[in-house]
Amino acid sequence: MHIQIAAVGKLKEKYLVLGIAEYAKRLGPYVKLTLTEVPDERAPETMSAAEEAIVREREGERLLAVIKPDAHVIALALDGELWSSEDLAGQLDNLATYGRSHVAFIIGGSNGLAPAVLKRAQQKLSFGRMTLPHQLMRLVLLEQVYRAVKINRGEPYHK
């Protein structure tokens, strides 16, 4: 299975870079993993709703440009479905079973995802109603993908 995580912005915090590298290493024997960063749109700290929409649209265009046409897209969104770790494992297993071996998870920038990205997604996933920094979300998502792989293989995972 090929798992792609496409996200807006460059990771800067060393602890996040190290954590992501650790889970990428752990996933190495099980999946082909691609971590794709697209530049965030430069914008003032305070913006009007129209300016925020423009930022989302530009970042969305960049995200869509790095997603292959045959990818099954799962967008991370506050209004997405709530899955348990077992649900995620089941979703990935079903996708692999039915020939959807390229799965792309999309993480937007601080202003969220553009409507075009949400339209491209076959599924929307939420990690809860709390807002998490998009950089931290990459680490949380990778940990959950690793956990899902271990669940699907029937292998133990630390608790």
| Binding site per annotation, positions for S-adenosyl-L-methionine | 76, 108, 127-132
Residues 138, 27: Cα–Cα separation, whole Å = 14
Residues 148, 133: Cα–Cα separation, whole Å = 22
Residues that constitute the known binding site:
76, 108, 127-132
Residues 136, 146: Cα–Cα separation, whole Å = 16
Residues 90, 159: Cα–Cα separation, whole Å = 20
CA distances from 33 to 6, 23, 148 (A): 11, 10, 14
Residue 13 has, within 13 A of its CA and on its CB side, a CA count of 11
Residues 26, 115: Cα–Cα separation, whole Å = 33
